[in-house]
């Protein structure tokens, strides 16, 4: 460059449409914000919230059993029908019990995995374990449910392993037990419970692991240094710090179990679950109002659960 | 616990036992794709064959379902990329009234069970008297895919130093040029990761799809039908293996894209 | 470049208030002040990253309010350099030309010339991450200069460099500014930096300018107690002692190096004033020794006594009574009574 560079004496003023629009948005940053938010908000406002509203609206309509038509008159009849039938109450309770059992099982099985990932796995091993949990979380829900059909089938692998180990009698005894049993594993509550636990397990592991990752190793050493035995360290340091992660994970396992209708259908017992009820009512029965009212139930249960989880500080771990 | 070898051995057993529980069933699926027995799920398989891959490839219903699912996933991902990026750009910088409500609206589709989203969309479809079609499926999928892109993009937007954007404008780039030359390159890997996850999520989604598909048959719907009315059982396994591969590849890519970026981010402060 | 009664508020907080000043073309103008004093906000207003709440900013006679940064003939060197991590050094420097759609070969040629100007010729293919702090700073400088701005803004550009490098860059920046003949507006909290480089310095405090003057003017004639103590070190004397020495109510400042220290027996010079006190501490600093002397009624005063060429008279030791004296002309009367 020369000692006396030639400077532009006129300020750059170009007038393309893009430049003019850019200037406008620069001067009015609120407008930019609005333009950015408008499409996604319109999408969610109209498509999603609109649909939820439509769902709510449908649940206040009623279905005429004789004509098979939906009567578009606002009424509480459908809700009365929902809560006055003992069979319906059974469905809700059955689903709720399953959701609680699955959540507990996921926490029990998931915690050691998360703990190992957070405190023991290093480098490539850690990355591999992370992928091993993440892959099933994001993909192949249906395939993973299907896998259990193969495993639990009468002539399938579980029965075969039991027979090889000479435990065929035990399996039969378990299946004969009321409440958990059934004619075969693939049509028992036990089987359904196994599949639910299997499918939602990654949703428990990752939040727990995230919570444990935030526990500095020095904290464990400090506890040991202060004379705590491993069991005490675990009970007084690790568990309280991991708890919000467990609650965060339980939101997923609880919510997903409440709303599922595929698993009870594939590995099913004769008793219905909420999801199946919704599916059947809207489908073969054509009673969309009852289906809508039924689907409001898990929403309420989850809202109650979220309120509880919020109290327990779970949202910090999400 | 770190210092306690015995506890660690039990822990190791529990951890790897749990991971085995997660993955052995998938291996079983692969195994059954090669079995010669097509009437029952007999174990161990009486023999192994590659025959079913040939059968699966020649079946038009599978090819059509696969093609439809790929189209749906691509369309839903495209919509989610646009909407999710816009929302993240707005939410990353601005503070405004109702911000929390917007966040809630974005995460609701994954917080609520899929069946609620599904039946809600169906209610709307019925009320609006729209015929379920390809586009109703895409609409439903985009709704829960947006949040995946949004989360990835938002995290990245927050890591782009404000001074980079100011430097670009200072040097004469207007808003659009700044977006193209500075923001987009910084955002690219996050969008790639978000898009890949959204694609995987959409590709094998079944719960919402059942309610919005009408007569269309995506691959998961085809799969559901096979579960209840099986015909050539091992063919179902062949398709399952394909689904595992089609969803695993984008997830691995997404993992790579965000991991490399995390390293680079550390290096550049 | 002119500010006319410019204010910038964030909610109820005034970052700057009713600021008016003018910077001449080709001037090296520094804005000096502690953090939160409003100097960086002022710089961002000039660059166009922020808009004034009230008042007007004129750049080369043109109202700048509402003009976006990319249409201002002003470029900035950022405190964190803000180099684009996804581009190599040459593309970073050429960025301003690229967005003006200058052909690639031409802009790379100009970028290389700019890099040579900042002594980084041949570094074009490197990534910003591979450079040292000082090199990044030069790249940022080259990038800001490529559009030939008439005003260059520098936001504490030397803050992250170590002392030796900082001193070298100070003289380089000054030389560059002379050579290019453009206006430099330089933000710093380091008074030494501001004094050594600038034609004029504005001292900021609480969103206002306390004083604008040449470095010598600031040092020798600080307008307020704040300026007196922020620019260099200074003794500010107030109250009864000041009134007795000045002959009227008020406060004055006196630089430590103007104060002579002696034993109480020594007679002061004819035009000098004197105060007696007791030495509480002596620090040996090499070229000087610093005497801390407790004076009844005005607190502790600091005096710098040269180690060589010192007066023949003996110096008092720690704990001994001492006489402080200085020429009457060395006292500088301060505006207002605001304590530093």
Print the domain residue range for A94.
86-311
Closest CA to A226 of C266, C142, A218: A218
Long-range Cβ contacts of C302-310 (<8 Å, 24+ apart): C302/C233, C302/C235, C302/C256, C302/C259, C303/C256, C303/C259, C303/C260, C303/C261, C304/C256, C304/C257, C304/C259, C305/C260, C305/C261
pLDDT at residue C197, as a whole number:
92
Instruction: Give the whole-angstrom CA distance, residue A198 versus residue A148.
Output: 9
Long-range Cβ contacts of C234-238 (<8 Å, 24+ apart): C235/C259, C235/C301, C235/C302, C236/C334, C236/C339, C236/C340, C237/C298, C237/C301, C238/C298, C238/C337, C238/C339
A221 is a domain residue: yes
Mean pLDDT of A224-243: 78
What mean pLDDT, rounded, does chain B reach? Answer: 84
Q: Do A8 and C113 touch (CB under 8 A)?
A: no
Same domain, C127 and C207: yes
Q: Which of residues 177-196 of B touch C (CB under 8 A)?
A: 177, 181-182, 185-186
Same domain, C187 and C254: no
pLDDT digits (tens, 9 = 90+) for B21-31: 888 888 888 88
Nearest-CA distance B102 → chain A (Å): 8
Print the domain residue range for C240.
233-334
A7 is a domain residue: no
Q: Do A5 and C148 touch (CB under 8 A)?
A: yes
The CATH code of the domain that includes C317 is: 2.40.50.100
As to burial, measured by CB atoms within 10 angstroms (0-12 exposed, 13-18 middle, 19+ buried), residue C52 is buried
Burial A276-292, CB ≥16 within 10 A → b, else e? bbbbbbbeeeebbbbbb
Same domain, C241 and C187: no
**Is the model's pLDDT at B183 over the cut of 90?**
yes
A9 is a domain residue: no
pLDDT at residue A3, as a whole number:
38
**Is the model's pLDDT at C31 over the cut of 70?**
yes
Q: Is A130 helix (H, G, I), strand (E, B) or coil?
A: helix
> Residue A197, preceding bond cis, omega within 30 degrees?
no
Nearest to C78 among B163, B181, B182 (CB): B163
pLDDT at residue C140, as a whole number:
95
Q: Measured between beta carbons, which residues in chain A are less than 8 angstroms from residue B142?
A: 43
Nearest-CA distance A106 → chain B (Å): 10
Q: Measured between beta carbons, which residues in chain A are less than 8 angstroms from residue C70?
A: 22
Same domain, C218 and C242: no
Mutate to test the interface with A, among C26, C58, C142, C148 (most CBs of A within 10 A): C148
A259 is a domain residue: yes
Higher pLDDT, C268 or C53: C53
Query: How many Cβ atoms sit within 10 Å of the Cβ of residue B108?
Result: 18
Q: Measured between beta carbons, which residues in chain B are less than 8 angstroms from residue C84?
A: 164, 167-168, 182
- Give the tokens for residue C218: 């600031």
Q: Measured between beta carbons, which residues in chain C are less than 8 angstroms from residue B182?
A: 84
Q: Do C144 and B171 touch (CB under 8 A)?
A: yes
Q: ipTM higher than 0.90?
A: no
pLDDT digits (tens, 9 = 90+) for B197-249: 899 889 988 889 988 888 889 999 988 888 877 777 788 888 888 888 888 88
Same domain, C297 and C220: no
A237 is a domain residue: yes
C93 is a domain residue: yes
- Give the tokens for residue A235: 């009970």
Higher pLDDT, C187 or B250: C187
Instruction: Give the whole-angstrom CA distance, residue C222 versus residue C204.
Output: 13
Same domain, C146 and C290: no
Q: Do C99 and B171 touch (CB under 8 A)?
A: yes
Q: Do C84 and B267 touch (CB under 8 A)?
A: no
Instruction: Give the whole-angstrom CA distance, residue B182 versus residue B175.
Output: 10
Mean pLDDT of B48-66: 86
Closest CA to B139 of B203, B212, B238: B212
Same domain, C154 and C274: no
Residue of B nearest to C153 (CA): B170
Closest CA to A238 of A108, A120, A115: A115
C321 is a domain residue: yes
Same domain, C52 and C128: yes
Domain-terminating residue out of C229, C248, C278: C229
Residue of A nearest to C181 (CA): A4
Domain-terminating residue out of C177, C210, C229: C229
Chain B: touching chains (3 or more CB pairs < 8 Å): A, C
C237 is a domain residue: yes
Residue of C nearest to B180 (CA): C99
Nearest-CA distance A143 → chain B (Å): 6
Same domain, C26 and C103: yes
A66 close to C (CB below 8 A): no
How many percent of chain B have pLDDT more than 70? 93
Mean pLDDT of A278-300: 84
Cβ-based interface (< 8 Å): residues of C facing B: 47-49, 68-70, 74-76, 78-80, 82-86, 95-96, 98-100, 128-129, 143-144, 146-147
Q: Do C182 and A13 touch (CB under 8 A)?
A: no
How many domains does chain C contain in total? 2
Domain-terminating residue out of C197, C229, C261: C229
Helix, strand, coil percentages in chain B from 3-state DSSP, rounded to 5: 80, 0, 20
The CATH code of the domain that includes A145 is: 1.10.3720.10
Closest CA to A121 of B6, B254, A112: A112
pLDDT at residue A205, as a whole number:
92
How many percent of chain A have pLDDT more than 90? 11
Nearest to A198 among B21, B83, B206 (CB): B21
Q: Do C147 and B185 touch (CB under 8 A)?
A: no
Mutate to test the interface with C, among B160, B164, B169, B172 (most CBs of C within 10 A): B172
Residue of B nearest to A153 (CA): B41
Residue of C nearest to A11 (CA): C73
pLDDT digits (tens, 9 = 90+) for C87-99: 999 999 999 999 9
Same domain, C221 and C244: no
C339 is a domain residue: no
A51 is a domain residue: no
CA distances from A8 to A12, C150, C178 (A): 8, 9, 19
**Is the model's pLDDT at B3 over the cut of 80?**
no
The CATH code of the domain that includes C125 is: 3.40.50.300
Q: What angle do CA C192, C198, C202 make, to 5 degrees?
A: 85
Go through the domains of chain B in sequence order and give each one's CATH number: 59-268 (1.10.3720.10)
Q: Do C68 and A27 touch (CB under 8 A)?
A: yes
Nearest to C66 among A3, A7, A27 (CB): A27
Q: What is the pTM of this model?
A: 0.80
Q: Do B182 and C78 touch (CB under 8 A)?
A: no
Mutate to test the interface with B, among A150, A274, A291 (most CBs of B within 10 A): A150
pLDDT digits (tens, 9 = 90+) for C297-316: 888 999 998 888 756 567 88
Phi, psi of C13, rounded to the nearest 5 degrees: -90, 130
Query: How many Cβ atoms sit within 10 Å of the Cβ of residue C172?
Result: 14
What mean pLDDT, rounded, does chain A reach? Answer: 82
The pLDDT confidence band at residue A29, using thresholds 50, 70 and 90, is: confident
Least confident of A126-135, B61-70, B103-112, C301-310: B103-112
**Is the model's pLDDT at C250 over the cut of 90?**
no
Residue of B nearest to C128 (CA): B268
How many domains does chain A contain in total? 1
pLDDT at residue A195, as a whole number:
92
Q: Measured between beta carbons, which residues in chain B are less than 8 angstroms from residue C46?
A: none
Q: Do C72 and A4 touch (CB under 8 A)?
A: no
C138 is a domain residue: yes
Nearest-CA distance C116 → chain B (Å): 20
Strand order in the sheet with C28-32: C74-77, C151-155, C183-188, C28-32, C200-205, C208-213
DSSP string, A258-269: HH--HHHHHS--
pLDDT at residue A11, as a whole number:
44
pLDDT digits (tens, 9 = 90+) for C165-179: 888 889 889 999 999
Chain A: touching chains (3 or more CB pairs < 8 Å): B, C
What mean pLDDT, rounded, does chain C reach? Answer: 89
Same domain, C225 and C240: no
Nearest-CA distance A135 → chain B (Å): 6
């Amino acid at each position: 460059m020369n000692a006396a560079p030639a400077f532009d004496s006129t300020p750059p003023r170009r007038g393309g449409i893009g430049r003019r629009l850019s200037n406008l948005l620069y001067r009015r940053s609120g407008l930019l914000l609005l333009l950015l938010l408008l499409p996604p908000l319109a999408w969610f406002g109209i498509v999603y919230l609109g649909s939820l509203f439509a769902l709510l609206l449908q649940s206040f309509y009623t279905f005429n059993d004789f004509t098979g038509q939906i009567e578009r008159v606002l009424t509480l009849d459908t809700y009365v029908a929902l809560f006055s039938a003992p069979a319906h109450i059974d469905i809700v309770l059955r689903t709720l019990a399953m959701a609680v059992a699955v959540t507990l099982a996921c926490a029990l099985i998931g915690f050691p995995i998360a703990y190992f990932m957070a405190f023991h796995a290093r480098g490539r091993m850690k990355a591999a374990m992370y992928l091993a949990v993440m892959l099933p979380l994001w993909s192949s829900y249906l395939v993973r449910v299907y896998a259990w059909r193969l495993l639990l089938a009468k002539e399938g692998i579980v029965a075969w392993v039991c027979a090889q180990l000479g435990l065929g009698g035990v399996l039969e005894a378990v299946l004969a037990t009321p409440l958990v049993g059934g004619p075969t594993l693939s049509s028992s509550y036990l089987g359904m419970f196994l599949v639910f636990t299997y499918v939602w397990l990654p949703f428990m592991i990752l939040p727990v692991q995230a919570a444990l990752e935030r526990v500095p190793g020095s904290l464990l050493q400090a506890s040991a240094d202060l004379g705590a035995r491993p069991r005490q360290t675990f009970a007084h340091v690790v568990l309280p710090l991991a708890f919000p992660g467990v609650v965060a994970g339980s939101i997923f396992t609880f919510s997903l179990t409440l709303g599922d209708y595929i698993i009870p259908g594939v590995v099913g017992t004769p008793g219905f679950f909420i999801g199946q009820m919704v599916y059947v009512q809207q489908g073969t029965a054509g009673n969309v109002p009852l289906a809508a009212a039924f689907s409001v139930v898990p929403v309420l249960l989850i809202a109650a659960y979220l309120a509880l989880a919020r109290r327990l500080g779970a949202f910090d771990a999400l | 616990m770190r210092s306690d070898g015995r506890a660690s051995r039990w822990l190791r057993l529990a951890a790897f036992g749990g991971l085995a529980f997660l993955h052995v069933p998938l291996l079983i699926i692969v195994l059954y794709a090669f079995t010669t027995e097509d009437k029952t799920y007999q174990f161990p398989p009486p023999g192994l064959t590659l025959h079913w891959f040939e059968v699966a490839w020649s079946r038009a219903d599978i090819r059509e379902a696969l093609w439809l699912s790929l189209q749906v996933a691509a369309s839903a991902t495209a919509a989610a990329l646009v909407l999710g990026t816009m929302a993240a750009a707005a939410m990353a910088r601005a503070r405004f009234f109702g911000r929390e409500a917007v966040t809630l609206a974005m995460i609701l589709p994954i917080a609520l069970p899929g069946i609620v989203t599904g039946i809600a969309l169906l209610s709307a479809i019925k009320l609006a008297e729209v015929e379920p079609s390809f586009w109703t499926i895409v609409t439903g999928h985009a709704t829960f895919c947006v949040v995946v892109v949004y989360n990835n993009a938002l995290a990245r937007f927050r890591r782009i130093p404000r001074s980079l954007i100011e430097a670009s404008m200072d040097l004469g780039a207007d808003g659009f040029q700044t977006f193209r030359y500075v923001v987009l390159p910084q955002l690219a890997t996050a969008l790639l990761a978000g898009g890949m996850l959204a694609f995987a999520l959409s590709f094998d989604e079944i719960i919402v799809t059942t309610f919005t598909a009408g007569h269309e048959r995506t691959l998961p719907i085809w799969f559901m039908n096979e579960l209840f009315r099986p015909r050539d059982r091992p063919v179902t396994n062949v398709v399952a293996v394909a689904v595992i591969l089609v969803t695993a590849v984008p997830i691995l890519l997404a993992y790579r894209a965000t991991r490399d970026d995390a390293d680079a981010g550390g290096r550049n402060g | 470049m002119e500010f006319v009664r410019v204010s910038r508020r964030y909610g109820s907080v005034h970052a700057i208030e009713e600021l008016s000043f003018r910077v001449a073309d080709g001037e090296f103008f520094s804005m000096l002040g502690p953090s939160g004093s409003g100097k960086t906000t002022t710089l961002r207003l000039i660059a166009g990253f922020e808009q004034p709440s009230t008042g007007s900013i004129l750049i080369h006679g043109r109202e700048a309010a509402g003009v976006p940064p990319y249409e201002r003939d002003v470029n900035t060197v950022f405190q964190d350099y803000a180099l684009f991590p996804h581009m190599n050094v040459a593309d970073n420097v050429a960025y301003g030309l690229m967005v003006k759609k200058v052909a690639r070969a031409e802009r790379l040629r100009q970028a290389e010339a700019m890099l040579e100007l900042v002594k980084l010729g041949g570094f074009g293919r490197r990534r910003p991450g591979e450079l040292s702090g000082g090199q990044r700073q030069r790249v940022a400088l080259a990038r800001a200069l490529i559009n030939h701005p008439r005003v260059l803004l520098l936001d504490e550009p030397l803050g992250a460099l170590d002392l030796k490098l900082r001193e070298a860059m100070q003289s380089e920046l000054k030389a560059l500014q002379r050579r290019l003949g453009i206006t430099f507006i330089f933000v710093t909290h380091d008074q030494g930096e501001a004094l050594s480089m600038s034609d004029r310095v504005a001292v900021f405090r609480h969103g206002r300018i306390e004083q604008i003057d040449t470095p010598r003017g600031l040092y020798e004639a600080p307008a307020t107690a704040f300026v007196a103590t922020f620019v260099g070190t200074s003794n500010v004397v107030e109250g009864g002692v000041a009134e007795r020495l000045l002959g009227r109510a008020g406060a004055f400042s006196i630089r430590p190096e103007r104060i002579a220290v002696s034993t109480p027996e020594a007679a002061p010079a004819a035009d000098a004033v004197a105060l007696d006190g007791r030495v509480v501490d002596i620090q040996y600093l090499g070229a000087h020794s610093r005497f801390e002397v407790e004076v009844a009624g005005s607190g502790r005063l600091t005096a710098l006594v040269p180690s060589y060429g010192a007066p023949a008279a003996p110096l008092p030791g720690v704990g001994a009574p001492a006489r402080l004296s200085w020429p009457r002309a060395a006292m500088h009367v301060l505006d207002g009574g605001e304590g530093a």
